[in-house]
Every structure is written in structure tokens, then in C-alpha cells.
């Protein structure tokens, strides 16, 4: 096989892989965490063995979809952090970018973060935490880089930036997960509440007269 033929074959494989991921996206948008390999293969007009040939198992498909969506989210977060605005506004914009993404595609979020309860060996059952944790770690490291580059934190800057980056991502994930399930108030209010916390409101708030303090 010539170099040109190998390149053509690689382009064909990559195009087919994108088409399969787009089919998987459509099924995930419809079925959420219950999206099955059978349903995805049917949506793509192929047999399940061909799907396995491209991704190995449901875990492989999950990782491919996660990479696809995580990169898009990271691009949005970077844009929000780099926007020409004062710092509080950029913090709010970053929080809103994450929350707007999971609100816009809740089924995709649930597929990535919450496995179907009945996922078993026949569907390539896997420990979602083992796969989702690296996504959150990557987001934490990306945010740490941005913080270190843009905020003067002194001699312990790298240490602080990594601690803050992972802490902020953990907060966004936990608060966003709760909010998406319960929808207790509009998204913009959650953005404001979390920004207040990051902005030091907890440190400056007084103790309740009827409580033990904090």
C-alpha cells in the first residue's frame, strides 16, 4: 500500500468514526444514560460488531464521546476566562458557560456522569467514575493553568492555582449536578451564588446571632 493510499484510508476511517460519534450523540440525546450499543449501531445503520471494531466496547465509545464534548466545553471555558471584562464578570461568565452547557444537553451530561442503573455486561457495563474522574481532573488542570497565567499569587502560585482550579471545578460539578436535578431556581441565580462564594462572601459574612458561628 502506498503512502497516498494509507492517507486515504486513514481519512476514510476518521470520517467514519465522526459519523458514528454523531449517530451516538443522537441516541444519547434521546436516551441519556440508557443509550445502548444496539441502539447506536441501529442509528448508524451498521451492526454492533462494526461498532465494536471502531470503539472496542461501551467504555471506548464513552471515552470518545467524552473527549468530543469535553474539548468543546474547555474551549468555551477558555473563551469566557479570556474575555475582555473585569474579573468578577469573567468568573460569572465561566460558571455560566459550564452550567449552560449541562442545561442545554442534560441527556449528554447524564450519559457522561451517571451510568444507566441497569447497565450490565451485555451492554459493556463500566464504572463511570473511573472514566468521568479524568474529565474533571483535566478541567481542573486546565483552569489551574489559566489562573496561574493571569493572577499574581506569589511564590506558592502554582500550588495555589492547582488547588483553586480543582476546587472550583469540583464546586461547579457538584453544584451543577444538584441544580440540574432539582432546578430550585434559575441558572443565573446559581451563577451569582457561586460567584459570591468564590468572591469571598463566606469570609466576610457575619455569624448568625442564633447559631454557633462558623
In a domain, 48, yes or no: no
Residue 124 pLDDT more than 50?
Answer: no
Q: Does a structural domain hold residue 29?
A: no
C-alpha–C-alpha distance, residues 79 and 90, integer Å:
9
Q: Does the residue 50 lie in any domain?
A: no
Structural domain boundaries enclosing 178:
58-203
Site of grid cell 442564633: 210
Would the pLDDT of 212 be above 70?
A: no
Do 205 and 172 meet the contact criterion of CB atoms below 8 Å apart? no
11 is a domain residue: no
- At 104, list the grid cell: 442545554
Number of domains in the chain: 1
Is the pLDDT at 28 greater than 80? The verdict is yes
> When comparing pLDDT for 127 and 114, which is higher?
114
pTM for the model stands at: 0.80
The average confidence (pLDDT) of the chain is 84
Q: What CATH number should be reported for the domain holding residue 147?
A: 1.10.357.10
Residue 186 — very low, low, confident or very high, per pLDDT cuts 50/70/90?
very high
Residue 91 lies in a domain: yes
How does residue 115 score in pLDDT terms, banded at 50, 70 and 90? low
Q: Would residue 119 count as lying in a domain?
A: yes
Q: Within a domain: residue 33?
A: no
At 128 the pLDDT is 52
* Within-domain flag for 188: yes
Higher local confidence (pLDDT), 124 or 199 = 199
Amino acid at each position: 500500500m502506498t503512502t497516498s493510499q494509507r492517507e486515504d484510508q486513514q481519512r476514510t476511517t476518521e470520517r467514519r468514526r465522526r459519523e458514528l460519534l454523531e449517530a451516538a450523540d443522537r441516541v444519547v440525546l434521546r436516551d441519556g444514560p440508557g443509550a445502548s450499543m444496539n441502539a447506536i449501531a441501529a442509528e448508524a445503520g451498521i451492526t454492533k460488531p462494526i461498532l465494536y471494531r471502531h470503539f472496542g466496547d461501551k467504555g471506548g465509545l464513552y471515552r470518545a464521546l467524552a473527549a468530543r464534548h469535553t474539548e468543546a466545553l474547555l474551549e468555551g471555558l477558555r473563551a469566557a476566562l479570556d474575555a475582555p471584562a473585569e474579573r468578577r464578570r469573567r468568573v460569572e461568565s465561566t460558571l455560566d458557560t459550564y452550567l449552560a452547557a449541562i442545561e442545554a444537553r442534560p441527556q449528554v451530561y447524564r450519559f457522561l456522569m451517571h451510568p444507566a442503573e441497569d447497565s450490565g455486561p451485555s451492554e459493556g457495563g463500566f464504572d463511570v467514575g473511573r472514566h468521568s474522574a479524568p474529565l474533571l481532573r483535566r478541567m481542573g488542570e486546565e483552569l489551574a493553568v489559566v489562573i496561574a497565567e493571569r493572577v499574581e499569587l506569589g511564590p506558592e502560585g502554582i500550588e495555589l492555582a492547582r488547588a483553586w482550579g480543582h476546587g472550583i471545578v469540583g464546586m461547579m460539578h457538584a453544584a451543577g449536578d444538584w441544580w440540574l436535578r432539582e432546578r430550585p431556581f434559575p441558572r443565573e441565580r446559581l451563577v451569582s451564588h457561586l460567584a459570591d462564594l468564590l468572591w469571598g462572601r463566606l469570609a466576610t459574612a457575619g455569624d448568625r446571632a442564633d447559631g454557633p458561628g462558623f
